[in-house]
Amino acid sequence: MNVIDLFSGCGGLSLGFIKNGYTVKKAVEFDANIANTYKMNHPEVDVIVDDIRNIDQSGVFKTGDADIIIGGPPCQGFSMAGARIRNGFIDDPRNYLFKHYFNVVKTVKPKAFVMENVKGIMTMQAGVIFEEILRIFSDPEMFDGEPYTLHYKIVKAVEFGVPQKRERMIIIGTRNIDFDFNELWEQTKVDILHDYPHYFNMVTVEDAIGNLGVTTTNGLINNPEPVTDYQRYLAADGMKLTNHTRTNHSIVAVDRMSRVANGENFTALEETINSVHSGSYGRLCWDEQSPTITTRFDTPAGGRFIHPIENRTLSPREAARIQSFPDDFVFYGTKTSICKQIGNAVPPKISYFLARFINKILDVEV
């Protein structure tokens, strides 16, 4: 089946669908540097580097182009006052990113769509925004009499065998399919366990990155022998690993990190740290999960991202492991861009589950 990935980033959501045999026909990404990483890893996909405002109704997309549309429209635009939302949510320019995702769904008319967003979308503006999203997709007038039924669930990465405490909202829209969401969700777990018996096991930071060893200047390291089930799941055969570089921290930053023990953060330093993050200068523990990997995981003041035993922040490869990217996925671009690519991605282990789940739903249709 064919997929269109909107707001694709470097391709975390696409990866799970590709692994499950779907064909991604088009991906849309505004940032050219991020789109390049997608292209380099998936040369078979038509990657459109453009603002979605320019293309959602330009003829690039046609009815029947894809069976599934996936993507996570950024939520920054959901800022409209609740009292006014009913009169123009879809037309408010601040919500254009969501609007154009909606427009592509309306044009292509896929069998199903998957929308990923922040957990807090349910409570923004006292929940009115979320209610409006549910309403417009289920409005028959918007979809020629065939609206979508929306199902949604907050997913916790740790429950999918991902070693980080990341929580996201998943919204799935289907049309003309009557199914029990929770029953199919559980059946999908059973099916995956048949193929990957350790898939949902709890994974620690050490399980994920313990075999990576020292960083290198160019980021290339010999392919380490996997020693855990998680490492085996992500392992690549017969190649070097990339992106295992360290940030060049200042002498002051290194001194601070040296005084922070596992599980501690800036409060152990007894000095003023200018950071908005409560976990600033936090050191990871081998036997726990990481907090959510963000776009600033290379900065000690950016959160709890200090390596468990070294006085440095996580390397891009370590962060990618914690995000469940396979070892043969290569990130391209500047350090800032690569951190953004990894931090903003949907963990591929979650996207693979969603791909299998969509299979289950569409089997009901048949």
Task: Please confirm, yes or no, whether 75 is among the known catalytic residues.
Answer: yes
Query: 335: how many CB neighbours lie within 10 A of its CB?
Result: 14
CB 339 within 8 A of CB 146: no
Q: Give the distance from CA 181 to its chain's centroid.
A: 22
Give the Cα separation of 54 and 159 in Å (integer).
Answer: 38
Looking at the DSSP assignment, which residues form a beta bridge with residue 150?
A: 173
Residue of 10, 75, 285, 339 with catalytic role: 75
CB 205 within 8 A of CB 309: no
Q: What is the DSSP letter of 283?
A: B
Sheet holding 112-118, edge to edge: 46-48, 23-28, 2-6, 68-71, 112-118, 167-174, 149-156
* Alpha helix stretches (DSSP H) within the chain: 12-19, 32-41, 52-55, 96-108, 128-137, 181-195, 205-209, 229-234, 251-258, 316-322, 335-343, 348-365
Do 234 and 319 touch, CB atoms closer than 8 A? Answer: no
Supply the residues annotated as catalytic: 75
